[in-house]
Structure formats: C-alpha cells, structure tokens
Structure 1
Amino acid sequence: MARRLILHIGDCKTGSTVIQTMLARGDCAPRDARLFVPGNGVHGALPRSLGQRPAQYPARWRGMAKRLAEAEWDVAILSSELFEFSDPGKVARALRDHMGQWWDDLSVLVYVRPHAGRVLSQFCENIKLGHDTGTLDEFYRRFRRAGRLKYAERLDGWRAEFGDKLVVRPFVRDHLHQGDVRHDFAAQVFGADGYSLSDTGQDDNSALSIPDLALMRVLQRVMNEGDVPVDTHVSLGKQLGQFLRNNALPDPAPKLRLHRKIAEDIRTRCADDAVRMDAEWVGAPCFAPALDSIDSQPDAADLSPEAIFDPATLRRITLWAALLLRQAQADPEGFGRMVRGQGQAD
C-alpha cells in the first residue's frame, strides 16, 4: 500500500482541537491501514518555524521527517491550525525539501467556518487565551483589515501551490459527515466506511458564557500586567476554559452574540466571498445562506468585568488572579507544566 501523508492546516475555530484530541487518544481506527500521528497530535512547531520562530527552521521539519521515515505507517497525519497564518509557498517548499518522498501522495485538508461565526468565535477565543482584543468592534475591524475574512483569496494561494491536493470542507454541521467534524475528518482521510470511531466523547471548545468571558478578562489582564510568557497565557486560558465548561451553572448564562451593526457589515463585505466559496469549494449553498441567517442583537454587549461582577466578587477574582501570577512568576516552566497537566505539551 502506498503511503499517504495528510497535512491538516486548520482553520482556527473549526474543531481542530477536537480532531487533534481524537487522533492523540487513538479514538479513530482505520479498518485497513496503519495510522501514525507523531507525538500528541499537535504539530504547531512546523508552522511556527516558517513564521514567528524562523530560528527553528529547518530543524523542526528535519526532525519530523526523520520520525516519519523511521515509523511504520500507511497514513500519517500532521496537524496544526497555525498553518492558517503560513505562507503557502513556504509550506510547499518545506514539504518538498524535507518530505519530498511523500509529495505525490500528499493531501492538504482545511476546514473553513462561515464568516460571522468565525468573527464571534475568534473574539471569544482571543479573550480566553489572553490575546489583546479590545472591544468586539475593535477586534472586528482589525480582523477584517488583516484579510482574515477573504477566504477565497486565501485559498487561491494554497491552490496555486497544491492544486488538487487541497481539500476544503465547510465547518457547518449540515455539511459534515454525520454532522460531526471528527467523523468528517476520518471520512475524508479513510473513506466513509474505512474507519471506526470510539465514542469516548470530545473536548468541548465551544464559546464561554458572557460572565465566564469577563472572568477570563480579569485573569488575563492581571497576567499581562505581570509580563508572563505568552505560552502561559494560552495554557492557562485553555485549561480554565475547559474547567468552566465542564462545571457550567444549572441555569446557563447567555453567550455573546454579534450586534446588528457588525452583522450588517459582514453581510455586505463578505457577500462576494461567500458566493465564491459556495461555487468553487462547496458546490452547494452554504456560506451565502449563513450570511443571511446571522444571529445578532440590537446593541453591543458590555463585556467589561466591572459591568458583570459586583465589587466584592471582582475583588475576589482579582486577588485569586494575583496569586496565580505570583506562582507563574516564581516558576514559569513548572507553572506551565502544572497548568497543562504533567506530560502534556502545548
């Protein structure tokens, strides 16, 4: 059997964590193939070496190529949503230079979320991970001006490098195999009848409620004032976010919605892109109808902690965050390991 290399490139906020968890746990079992997923199923060092950490190139790619060459497999999967921010040309060159023996049997798989859902979910995720967001309006303007909502244009760049190796899937439940991104991913890789999937549950990476987002803002604001490493912000946000979801209140608090001004702006600015996505990548109405059905509210919600919590509660949260900051400053590496859980990696 010829070896097949699968490069899963995101996007962010399209179930990448769920897919990576499935692969790391061994929940997905192909029926007639040996599957190899290096490490913990998350391979962010590869795209980082092509962008924000150039000193790590080409070592990261050489190391991964060595692992692939030494393992026995029919299908190998490399996955990171951070490829969304990579230059497709650099990715193609790295693959040809270091994994060229599998180029002819390479597939590049990407999931893309409808425009409004991506804006809202990314804003909430940035709050959780401690990235600078400002207000929802400020975040939306930056996100839009950076070209993050020009899906078809971005995919044109990947298609120019990878041609029909590129497989684009809409992150829309009605368009996913069995309505589940895990099943859809497995079906794309192994065929609809070529795998079994253990029902061990999946990590919930859904958006937090408004009060939980406000709590995250307090925590990450204190961490920012203490100048701790970015990885600490991310790890702490991911783990606390999961704890909050796993311990939801019996009467769930409302979740954030786009307000009408942003919703209308997205409908206008993204209309042509949605039409292209449906015509060129989905082959059915998907992105355009999603624009027509944006769930919005009249006015912007106030996410400031001072508007959500009474003074006594805000004081307790701030003091708790300050205690965590002291621990993080005293032993950054140990704190990071503690937050992630012993033996886990970013």
Structure 2
Amino acid sequence: MLSWLAFELDQDIMTAPKKTLVFHIGDHKTGSTAIQSAFAQAQVSLGDRSVFYPAKLAHNYLKQHCNAYAAPHATGGRKKAIAVFRKLAARVRESDADFSLISAEEMEWADPEVLHDIITRYFADTVDEIHVIAYVRPHAARLLSSFAERTKLGIPHILSGTLDTLFEETLERRRFHYEPRFSTWRRLFGDQFTLRPMIREHLDQGDVVKDFIRHAFATHDFQITGVGAANASLDLEDLMRLKVLQRHLLEHRNQLRFRHMLGWEFSRILATLPAPQTQTKLRLHRSLAERLHTTYLADAQAMDQSFFDRAPLLENALTGALEAAVDTPQSVEPADYLPPSDLRSLAVLSKVICGMLENDGQDWPEFLHAKRTKETQKIARANKS
C-alpha cells in the first residue's frame, strides 16, 4: 500500500505543470507601461495557460526596498524590505497560475547582485523556474525619450536644460553604457536572462506587448484585447504645454511627487483626445548626434556582438540617428511653439493648481495615483466579466 502511494505521489510530481516566475526589469522607455497596463487591466490571455499579475499597476515600489535591503546600517529598512519580499513571494507561491509576472522598470537602476540575492533567498522556492527579461532602447532614441519623459515629470534641472545638458549628465553617470550592466545580468542568471531590442522592426508584429508575451512566456498562443499606446510620447507642442505647468509648479519645491503624478495624468488625458493636425517631433541635432555616435559606438558594437548574434542592431540605430539629425538644435522653449494666449491660459491654470496645493488636508499625489489605479481596476473587472 505504501509503495503504491509513493508511486502515485511520484506520478503526480512528474505530471504536475511547471510554475514559472518572470521578472521584467525594464529598461525605462521600452514599453514597460504598455506591458504593465495590459496585464493590470486583464487584457492578456495565454491560450490554455494562466498568468498571475500581483499588482494594481506595477511593482516599481520594489526598487526602494532593494536599496533598503542592501543598506548595511539601515536595519529597520532592511527588515521592512524582507517582509515585503516575503509577502510577495507568498502570493506567488499560493497562486495556481502557470506564470507569475513581476514588472518594474525601476529595476534598471537596481544592483543586479542585490536583486539576484533577493530572488535566490525569497523567490527561488516559490516556482519551478525563474526568468528575467529586459528591453534596451538604442542610445540616441533613449536620450530623446528620456528628455521628454523627465520634462513630463517636472524634473527641475531638465525644465531649464536641453538635450545637450542631458547628454552630459547621462555621460557623467554612464547611464547609457549598456554592455557592462547587461553582461552582469547575464552572468548572474545565465540562460534564464533574455534581452530584447526596443526597435520596432525587430519586435514581434512591431508591438512591444506582443513581443513581450512571445518571449517572456515562450508562446504564440495568446490574445490581447483593447491595448492602446500607453505612455505614448508627447509631441513638442503638448510637451511645451506641460512644461509651462511644471515650471510654474516649481515654486512648490516639496511637490516633486505631485509633478510626477500631474505629468502622468496630463499624458493619460491627452491619449483620449483626437490627435492634433500639427505635431512636431523632438529630434536630435547634428552636432549632438555626432557626439552620441562617437561616445556610444563601441558600446553599441559590444551589445550587438554579445546579445544580438552580431547583428548590428544598436550600431545601425546610432548611424541612423546621425543620418536623421537636423542641422540646428530645436528650441525647447514653450514660447517658440505656443501663442501668447495659450501661455497666459496655462499660467492662470498653474496658479489655480498652486492654490489647491496649499490645502494640506488633501494628499494630491495620492489622489491622482488612486484615480489612475481605480480606472485600471475598472477596466480589469470589465475584461474579466
């Protein structure tokens, strides 16, 4: 009887479906918001497989806990971080889904060694397999998208800066020297690490959400319903409108989080409106494109050789950016794109918003975040019904 029971247990183990945990770690500006929205809004189905996405929007809060976990003297912060990791790991363990997905583009800035330690200690026993997937945007496109994103979020020094000043800042911090960082991820996770190029013609059907599903879950059998262009890039006219608002809000120096939430809400509402007839794209100028090409060519070539089977994907993107550059730098001053009447109206609106911020009884950043979360959950409920 006991031997029969043991045989039955062995058979159950052999036939039990594998559980896989996928960590999506960015990068920023590679379609992370679109991917997160698709799963948070329950818009993805995987044929006869299932996915558990334990987040209302994303898991970017984990980055601060990674920092606290690694801080040698912050014992209180480390204990809190461990509790957060254990709680999330328990949710993954308890799920009966084939896949669990944790998505946080903020992990671009995490120490790979720290995250590897966290995954090994707290998540390794929750599933049968763990995969890590990331996307990388070509160097020139990343500079452009980062400038627009930081303007949208109201980062003070960006509101008074230019593409050239952002280039200098990112160069000093080596933000866009990709190969050392991604090589560390691959060294730590081996074949369980996947890096994809954020280049439209190299994405599955030219769509990052479809490409992510294809490579994160190793399947062509999926359906997506109702996915739009989440966090689509703003044209220069709309970006300058937002820049006017953000500059006026700088008088509230302690409202950085509100400026972030305002930028997200502004973009979300714009996405629901018809596109304007005139749209100016942010573009590189030739002298900056040349500096980018000189600075990042070796890194692009190293990335192509190490991660893309020697196909010159990032190298060609750098060359293409040089060829597409305009002769003179574009203005990033609102007055060069908006009529005086618009500037006046935006100044008035800014004053109204500043007056609202004087109400200390309302957590305005949390209000906007909760509003976005509520709308996401509403869509998710509709898709599940």
Fold equivalence (TM over 0.5): yes
Q: Give yes or no for the alignment of 1:255 onto 2:319.
A: no
- Are the equivalent residues in 2 in contact too, given 1:151–1:273 (CA < 8 A)? yes
Gaps (5+ residues) in structure 2? 1-16, 72-76, 377-385
The one of 113, 123, 138 aligned to 1:89: 113
Moved more, 135-144 or 301-310: 301-310
Q: Give yes or no for the alignment of 1:205 onto 2:221.
A: no
- Are the equivalent residues in 1 in contact too, given 2:284–2:325 (CA < 8 A)? yes
Q: Secondary structure at the match of 1:167?
A: strand
Deviation beyond 6 Å, 4+ runs, structure 1: none
Q: Secondary structure at the match of 1:169?
A: strand
Compared with structure 1, are the counterparts of its residues 4 and 332 closer, same or farther at alpha carbon in structure 2 (3 Å cutoff)?
farther
After superposition, the C-alpha distances for 1:105-154 in whole angstroms (9 at most, x for unaligned) are 11000000111000000100000011131221111110122112111111
* Cross-structure match for 2:174: 147
Q: Secondary structure at the match of 1:107?
A: strand
Q: Give how far 1:104 is off.
A: 5.8
AA in 2 matched with 1:178? Q
Q: Give how far 1:337 is off.
A: 4.4
After superposition, the C-alpha distances for 1:53-104 in whole angstroms (9 at most, x for unaligned) are 9635223212211222232222000001000000001101111221121476
Q: Secondary structure at the match of 2:253?
A: coil
After superposition, the C-alpha distances for 1:158-199 in whole angstroms (9 at most, x for unaligned) are 12221221100001111111111111111112334232222x
- Are the equivalent residues in 2 in contact too, given 1:96–1:103 (CA < 8 A)? no
Matches of 1:320 and 1:312, distance apart in 2:
12
* Cross-structure match for 2:140: 116
The one of 326, 329, 334 aligned to 2:355: 326
- Are the equivalent residues in 2 in contact too, given 1:21–1:202 (CA < 8 A)? no
Alignment of 1:144-223 (within 5 A): 144-198=171-225, 200-223=226-249
Q: Secondary structure at the match of 2:123?
A: helix
Compared with structure 1, are the counterparts of its residues 89 and 311 closer, same or farther at alpha carbon in structure 2 (3 Å cutoff)?
same
The one of 352, 358, 364 aligned to 1:335: 364
* Cross-structure match for 1:315: 344
Alignment of 1:295-306 (within 5 A): 295-306=324-335
Q: Secondary structure at the match of 2:67?
A: coil
- Are the equivalent residues in 2 in contact too, given 1:5–1:105 (CA < 8 A)? yes
Q: Give how far 1:330 is off.
A: 1.2
Moved more, 105-114 or 232-241: 232-241
Matches of 1:256 and 1:154, distance apart in 2:
28
Q: Secondary structure at the match of 1:302?
A: coil
Compared with structure 1, are the counterparts of its residues 30 and 331 closer, same or farther at alpha carbon in structure 2 (3 Å cutoff)?
farther
Q: Secondary structure at the match of 1:121?
A: helix
* Cross-structure match for 1:282: 308
Identity %: 30
Moved more, 297-306 or 329-338: 329-338
Q: Give yes or no for the alignment of 1:234 onto 2:260.
A: yes
- Are the equivalent residues in 1 in contact too, given 2:93–2:127 (CA < 8 A)? no
After superposition, the C-alpha distances for 1:195-250 in whole angstroms (9 at most, x for unaligned) are 2222x132342321222222222211222211243321111101102223433554
Q: Give how far 1:261 is off.
A: 1.1
Matches of 2:39 and 2:273, distance apart in 1:
25
Q: Give yes or no for the alignment of 1:135 onto 2:159.
A: no
Q: Give yes or no for the alignment of 1:36 onto 2:52.
A: yes
Higher gyration radius (CA)? 2
What is the count of residue pairs matched by the alignment? 345
- Are the equivalent residues in 1 in contact too, given 2:289–2:325 (CA < 8 A)? yes
- Are the equivalent residues in 2 in contact too, given 1:27–1:197 (CA < 8 A)? yes
- Are the equivalent residues in 2 in contact too, given 1:30–1:196 (CA < 8 A)? yes
Q: Give yes or no for the alignment of 1:48 onto 2:64.
A: yes
Compared with structure 1, are the counterparts of its residues 78 and 65 closer, same or farther at alpha carbon in structure 2 (3 Å cutoff)?
same
Matches of 2:68 and 2:232, distance apart in 1:
27
TM-score by length of 2: 0.84
- Are the equivalent residues in 1 in contact too, given 2:113–2:188 (CA < 8 A)? yes
- Are the equivalent residues in 2 in contact too, given 1:235–1:339 (CA < 8 A)? yes
Matches of 1:315 and 1:119, distance apart in 2:
31
Q: Give how far 1:333 is off.
A: 4.8
Gaps (5+ residues) in structure 1? none
- Are the equivalent residues in 2 in contact too, given 1:115–1:149 (CA < 8 A)? yes
Compared with structure 1, are the counterparts of its residues 159 and 69 closer, same or farther at alpha carbon in structure 2 (3 Å cutoff)?
same
Matches of 2:216 and 2:28, distance apart in 1:
20
Compared with structure 1, are the counterparts of its residues 36 and 262 closer, same or farther at alpha carbon in structure 2 (3 Å cutoff)?
same
Matches of 2:233 and 2:266, distance apart in 1:
13
Matches of 1:106 and 1:293, distance apart in 2:
36
Compared with structure 1, are the counterparts of its residues 102 and 63 closer, same or farther at alpha carbon in structure 2 (3 Å cutoff)?
closer
